[in-house]
Amino acid sequence: MTTSSADQVEPLLEQTIDVRATPDRVWALVSDLPRMSRWSPQVVRSILRGGRPVRLGSRMVNVNRRGLLVWPTQAKVVRFEPTREIAFKIKENGTTWSFTLEPAAGVDGTEADGTRIVQRREAQQGTSDLSRKLVDRFMGGQVTFQDELRAGMRQTLARIKAEAEAVPGR
C-alpha cells in the first residue's frame, strides 16, 4: 500500500517564539506584510495591492524562491485583529499563513513581560493538486518541503524577534 502525496500534507505547521517587546511593537512588524522578505528565507518580495495600511481583504502578490526555483503567489488577508492576529490565504495552494500574538509569561510565570508569536501554516483541506505535484517533483516531496517550511518559520521568527528587540539607533 503506497501513501498518497495528499496524505502527507500536514494540516498544521506551527512554530513559536517569545519576544521581549510589546504586542504593539511586534504587531507593527508582522502586520507590515511587504516587509516579509526581510525575515522569510523563501519570500523574495511581497507587493501589497491597493496600498497601505494592510487590512482585512487586502491583497498581495508574493515572489518566492527556493534555490533556482522562483514562483509567484497571490494572497488575501482573511483574518485581521490588530495586536492579535493576521492571516492570509494563498490562492494557488489553498493554505493559510498566520501570525498570532499572545502575552508571554514572565520569568516567574506570573506576569507577562513580552509577546509570544505563533506562526502557522494551515492546510486543513490539504493543498491543491498542482501544488502537490510541483512539491513532489521539484521540492523533494511533501515531507522534505514541510521540514523546510518549519525551518524557514523558525528563521522568520528569529529575525522578527531580533528586529523587535533591537534598540532604536543602534
9: in domain: no
CB neighbour burial string for 110-138, b if at least 16 within 10 angstroms, e if fewer: eeeebbbbbbbbbbeebbbeebbebbeee
- Which one, of 90, 106, 102, 101, lies nearest residue 43 by Cα? 90
Q: Which domain holds residue 69?
A: 23-165
Q: Where does the pLDDT of residue 163 fall: very low under 50, low under 70, confident under 90, or very high at 90 and above?
A: very high
16: in domain: no
Q: Does residue 108 surpass a pLDDT of 80?
A: no
36: in domain: yes
pLDDT of residue 109: 57
Structure confidence by residue, pLDDT tens digits, 63-95 = 999 989 999 999 999 999 999 999 999 999 999
pLDDT of residue 168: 66
Q: Does residue 59 surpass a pLDDT of 90?
A: yes
7: in domain: no
CATH of the domain at 144: 3.30.530.20
Number of folded domains that form the chain: 1
pLDDT of residue 128: 83
Q: Which residue has the higher pLDDT, 125 or 97?
A: 97
12: in domain: no
Structure confidence by residue, pLDDT tens digits, 2-57 = 456 667 888 999 999 999 999 999 999 999 999 999 999 999 999 999 877 899 99
| Rounded average pLDDT over 98-122 | 83
Instruction: Give the pTM.
Output: 0.89
pLDDT of residue 117: 98
Residues 6+ apart with CB under 8 A from 151: none
8: in domain: no
1: in domain: no
pLDDT of residue 113: 73
Q: Where does the pLDDT of residue 112 fall: very low under 50, low under 70, confident under 90, or very high at 90 and above?
A: low
How far is the C-alpha of 101 from the C-alpha of 82, rounded, in Å?
10
How far is the C-alpha of 105 from the C-alpha of 162, rounded, in Å?
19
120: in domain: yes
**DSSP labels for the chain?**
-PPPGGGGS-SEEEEEEEESS-HHHHHHHHT-GGGGGGT-SSEEEEEEET-SSP-TT-EEEEEEEETTEEEEEEEEEEEEETTTEEEEEETTT--EEEEEEEEEEPTTSSSEEEEEEEEEEE-TT---HHHHHHHHHHSS-HHHHHHHHHHHHHHHHHHHHHHHHPPTT-
